[in-house]
Amino acid sequence: MKRLFILLLSLFLLTPFSAHASTTVTLTAPSHRHLDGTFFDDALATDLLPDGKYGSLIFHKSTFVSNWKIDPAFIEDVNAMTINYQVSGLGEGKGKEAATAFMNRLKTVTSIGRVEALPYSNPSEYWVNKFMPHDRGYILDVSASRLTSLLGRFTYAPTQYASKKYFSLTSPQIRLINLSSARIQSSASYLDSQLLENYKLSQVKLLSVSITQTQRQTLAYDLAAQLNTLRDSIRISRGKFTITSANQKLPITLTNDFPKPTVVNLSINSINQRIFVDDIKLITIPAKSKMQVLIPVKAYTSGDSGFTVTLRTKDGSVFGQTTTYPLTVAFISPVATWITTIAAVVLFGAAILKSLRRFRKGKRSHEHR
């Protein structure tokens, strides 16, 4: 018995320590997609192969892994490749088979052991605290829920950010991120939870410590385009009008692309003193629809005029761009009509008087003959 124990102990000691040790593997990568989901390169097509940069971590080094730390943004990129996908400037991507094999293998090797989500897109804690302090905990929780959905198993939420790294941002990028935060906040009540989550995580991608400055600038352009779309989700139709009476109501069309009804105020201002217009408050626009609103206009004198309309939310935030409506006032006001009538009477009277004078003069000339 003693000899058997010594033999087993010897075998254990001779076996490489790594075979018994608990190991942790971290899976994260820079984003390879635009915010609209289109890939800007196809580098993952080779990196996911069994001998590739990321494939080797799960095909060859996963036997004794007991802890996994996985970035859900990276796995979303991989998952998007498991169907036919497009790469900007290159057409259809080549990594569908590699991505499918990677996802199948990842689900297998992570079916046992502990899986913890990394913060989505591995952002810098420094910049998250700077731009999104109120969403700090939200980002950690959302990261776990996204990874759970992708792997089909429970995953632990991260308790802290993986990196506190500081990196420089350009002034335009800083202004853009601040504008993004303000726009998302003002739109939050009109968005469903999934859309709101997507917008916030798009902003987080810009704060990733993994991407290059070139990639960061690409994502900055994407975020700017995304903000324009969000800004124009509530908008006003353009047009121009002619009015022919002192009081008239002019129709404009409001569009709401949000998945929820929106309540807006219209700030309306005339561009000169020929007309008077006033604000219209608390207009409810149904979700995903258009509606027509009548703008009361009071005109004073004929000529060229116009008015501007600005959409505002109940808290005063501006949506979209201020729209200007050119307006031609083509009518004779009551005062002008009165003056014209008097002038016509005077002229008519003058004409009669002149005729009488001619008649009398002609009569006198006839009598003298």
Shared domain for 206 and 255, answered yes or no, is no
Shared domain for 222 and 258, answered yes or no, is no
Shared domain for 181 and 253, answered yes or no, is no
Exposure string (b/e) for 271-309, b if CB count within 10 Å is 16 or more? beebbebeebeeeebeeeeeeebebebebebbeebbbeb
CA distance 201 to 73: 9
CA distance 69 to 116: 5
pLDDT in tens, the chain (369 residues): 445 444 343 433 333 333 334 588 999 999 999 998 899 999 999 999 999 999 999 998 766 788 999 999 999 999 999 999 999 888 999 999 999 999 999 999 998 889 999 999 999 999 999 999 999 999 999 999 999 999 999 999 999 998 888 999 999 999 999 988 888 888 888 888 999 999 999 999 999 999 998 899 999 999 988 888 888 888 899 999 998 888 999 999 999 999 999 999 999 999 998 899 999 999 999 999 999 999 999 998 888 999 999 998 887 778 878 899 999 998 655 555 555 556 556 666 666 666 666 656 655 555 555
243 bridge partner residues: 329
- Using the 3D structure, point to which of 231, 249, 268 is the last residue of a domain: 231
CB neighbour list of residue 200: distance below 8 Å, 6 or more residues apart: 132, 135, 138, 139, 142, 184
Give the residue numbers spanning the domain of 30. 17-231
Shared domain for 33 and 141, answered yes or no, is yes
Number of domains in the chain: 2
CATH number, position 274: 2.60.40.1710
Q: Where are the beta strands (DSSP E) in the chain?
A: 23-27, 65-70, 86-87, 91-92, 114-117, 234-236, 241-243, 247-256, 262-270, 275-276, 280-285, 289-299, 303-313, 318-329
- Using the 3D structure, point to which of 205, 231, 257 is the last residue of a domain: 231
CA distance 181 to 199: 9
Phi-psi region of 27 (alpha: psi -120 to 50; beta: other; left: phi over 0): beta
Query: Does a structural domain hold residue 158?
Result: yes
Counting every residue written for the chain, the total comes to 369
Residue type, 352: I
